Amino acid sequence: MLRGKFFYKGRFVEAGIRVEDGVITEIGKLVEGRKVRGVILPAGIDVHVHFRDFREKQKETIETGSLSAVYGGICLVIDQPNTIPPIDNFEIYDERMKIARKKCYVDYALNLALTNKNIGKINQVIRKVKRKYFLPAIGEVFLQHKDRNFEISYESLKFVSKGIHKITVHAEDPEFVTDGIPNFVFRKREAEITAVKKCLAISNFHFCHISTRDAVKLILNSNSTFEVTPHHLLLSVENFKDLGEFVNVNPPLRSREESFWMLKNFSLADVLASDHAPHLIDEKANGAPGFPGVETMYPMFVALALKGIISFKDLVEKISKNPARIFNLRGYGEIEVGNFANFAVFDFKAIEKIDESKLHSKCGWTPFKGFEAIFPREVYIRGIEVLKTEEKVGKVL
Give the pLDDT means over successive 10-residue stretches in the chain (397 positions): 90 94 94 91 98 96 98 98 97 98 97 96 96 97 93 94 90 93 92 98 97 98 98 97 94 98 98 98 93 98 98 98 98 97 97 97 96 97 93 94
DSSP codes of every residue in 102-157 = HH-SSEEEE-B---TTTGGGHHHHHHHHHTTS----EEEEESS-SSTTTB--HHHH
Cα–Cα distance measured from residue 104 to residue 381, given in angstroms and rounded to the nearest whole number? 12
Determine the pLDDT at residue 180: 84
pLDDT of residue 81: 98
pLDDT at 230: 98
Give pLDDT tens digits for 160-205.
Answer: 998 787 999 999 999 999 988 899 999 999 999 999 999 999 999 9
Residue 98 lies in a domain: yes
Q: Is 347 a domain residue?
A: no
Q: Say how far apart CA 62 and CA 54 lie, in whole Å.
A: 10
Task: Report the domain count for the chain.
Answer: 1
Residue 166 confidence (pLDDT): 94
Spatial CA neighbour of 330 closest among 339, 320, 341, 342? 339
Q: Is 112 in contact with 96 (CB distance < 8 Å)?
A: no
Separation of alpha carbons 199 and 246, rounded Å = 30
Catalytic residue ranges? 275
Find how far residue 130's CA is from the centre of its chain: 22
Q: Is residue 100 part of a domain?
A: yes
Domain annotation covers residue 383 = no
Distance CA 82, CA 91 (A): 15
Instruction: Give dist(CA 269, CA 224) in Å, integer.
Output: 11
- The pLDDT score that the predictor gives to residue 396 is 96
Segments forming the whole domain that contains residue 58: 42-332
- Residues 52-72 pLDDT 10s: 999 999 999 999 999 999 999
Whether 360 maps to a domain, the answer reads no
Can you give the pTM of this predicted structure? Answer: 0.97
Phi and psi at 110, nearest 5°, equal -140, 130
Q: Judge whether 107 lies within some domain.
A: yes
- The secondary element (H helix, E strand) that includes residue 373 is strand 372-373
Element (H, E) at 94: helix 90-103
Q: Closest by alpha carbon to 139, among 174, 166, 117? A: 166
CATH number, position 111? 3.20.20.140
What backbone phi and psi angles, to 5 degrees, belong to 246? -85, 0
Look at residue 273 in the predicted model and tell me its pLDDT.
98
Q: Is residue 95 part of a domain?
A: yes
The answer to whether the beta carbons of residues 390 and 348 sit under 8 Å apart is no
Structural domain contains residue 194: yes
